[in-house]
Every structure is written in structure tokens, then in C-alpha cells.
Amino acid sequence: MSNKINFIFPLLMICCLSIQISAVSDDQRFSESYGSTALAQAMSPSRYEDYTNNYIRVTGKCNMPRNIGTSPHVGVDMTMSAGTKVYPIFAGRITNINYDLSGQLGSVTVNADINSDGTPDGYYIKYTHIAPYSSSYISADSANPLSWLSINEDFALIDIERVWAPHLHYQWLTATNGFSKKWADFTNMSVHINMEMILILSVTTVGMMMSYI
């Protein structure tokens, strides 16, 4: 009997853990949450000299149908003058830089740290129509992982008019060269799951110990 409890109790706990990890309901999967589940408020990509947010005008919304470029629009357009410094909306690790400005498509992609724990969280933010800094320490060498970008660290200038009027386009991708995602639901599920895992594993351990007694 005791041996059976020793076996069944941890098994039950592991089952509970599995259910907890996969317990995302359909209404959660398909819901749109306009900022309501953000772990942190993103900063503006445009700043004043003291780093405070410069709340600039949005001229193109995400998923907006349009006649030029991609339709629907796969990111957000913001009015910024040519030559203005661009800052990250979250800190993170730079994963890709495109220095080719010929089509006004210079870009930087950042694996964002959305919960400010100092590590990237797999939310890739791509900033386009910019001239990435070529003389700074940011390396374009693909053999070398790229640098960490702090929240108040500028990394590019808005490019001059080559195809379009100067502006910043930025979008959320699933990976460095992945699909664009709509700007919604910045929930970092892993944080909650980790907490649940710790709790449940603790209960499991105590349960095993109790059953052993």
C-alpha cells in the first residue's frame, strides 16, 4: 500500500503540472488584449535628451489595410524626422542588423527583455527605415553574437528620404526572420509557469516525503 502511494502521489502531481502548463483556453488564444496583459510599459522609440518619452504621432497602425507596401500593414509607423536617434522600446539582445540603406530598408532586430530581468524573452522587435550605427561597437559579424542594447541606448538614426518620407516602422516578429505578429498580448507565460512549477514541485517533494514516512 505504502509503495503504491509512493508511486501514485508524485504521478498525480506531475499530471497536475502538465495540465497547468498546457492550460491555455481557446478564448485566451484568440483574444485581443490592448495592453491589458503587458508586464511592462514599453518606452517610446523617440526620446528627449534626458531619456524621457517623446510621444510621437502614429501615422500607420498595425493590420491597417492600405494601397502601398504590405497590406495589411505589418507594424506601426511613427513620424520621426531624418537624423533623429532611435531608442529601443524594450532593452534586449541585438540579433540582426541590415546596413543596406539603398531601399531605405536599413533595420535592427532586437530580442526584447520585456520583463526587465536582464535576459531576452523571445519577443523580436524589428525597427526599419533607419540607418544603424556603423561606427559603434554594434557588430554585424554573424559569427559573433551581437550586443546587448540597454533601454536608454540609441542604436540608429532615422534614414533620409530614399523611397518614403522619413519615419520609423517597427514590428513584432516571432523570430529574427520570422512572421510578423500583431501588437497585442505581451504576456510572458513562462514567468507564470515557472512560478507554478516551483509551487507544484515543492508540493510534490513534500508529498513524496510524507508518503515515505
Partner 1 sequence: MKRIIYRRKMLLCFILIFLLANMVMFATTYSSGADDFTARTIKISGRYITVNGCLVSDLSYLDQQRIAKTNDIQQKDYLFDSLQNDGYLVNGYTAEKQNVISKNIAFETSFSGQNELKFKYIYNNLNDVAILPDWNESNFHVTEINGREYDLLEYNNSIYMINIDQGIIEQVLLEDNEYNKAFIEEHISQMDNDYYQLTWGANPQPNISGNKFTYYSSRNALKGGDSISEIRVKNLDTGEDYSLGDIGYECLGWDINDNVYYFNYDEDIVSINVNNGEMKTVLTGANPRSILLYPYIAYSTEKNYGIVLYNIANGSTENFNSSNIQAISGLYSNPAKTSVLFQNDFYSLGSDLTKAPAINLGIFNINDKIIRFLDMPDGFTLQRYSWINNEIISLILLSTDTYEENTYLVDMSCFKEIE
For residue 83, state whether it binds partner 1 (rule: CB under 8 A): yes
Crossing angle, helix 2-22 and helix 189-212, to 10 degrees?
170
Cβ at position 29, least distance to partner 1 in Å:
19
Identified binder of partner 1 from the candidate list 28, 52, 70, 71, rule CB under 8 A: 52
User: Burial of 122 by CB count in 10 Å (0-12 exposed, 13-18 middle, 19+ buried)?
Assistant: exposed
Which residue, among 20, 15, 9, has the nearest Cα to 194 in the 3D structure? 20
Name the residue nearer to partner 1 (CB basis): 18 or 54: 54
Name the residue nearer to partner 1 (CB basis): 97 or 146: 146
Which residue, among 110, 104, 106, has the nearest Cα to 87 in the 3D structure? 110
For residue 139, state whether it binds partner 1 (rule: CB under 8 A): yes
For residue 40, state whether it binds partner 1 (rule: CB under 8 A): yes
Would you tell me how many other CB atoms lie within 10 Å of the CB of residue 58?
A: 11
For residue 209, state whether it binds partner 1 (rule: CB under 8 A): yes
Contact residues toward partner 1 (CB under 8 A) are: 34-41, 48, 50-55, 57, 59, 79, 81-85, 91, 93, 95, 111, 116-120, 131, 133-137, 139, 144-148, 150-154, 157-158, 160-161, 165, 209, 212-213
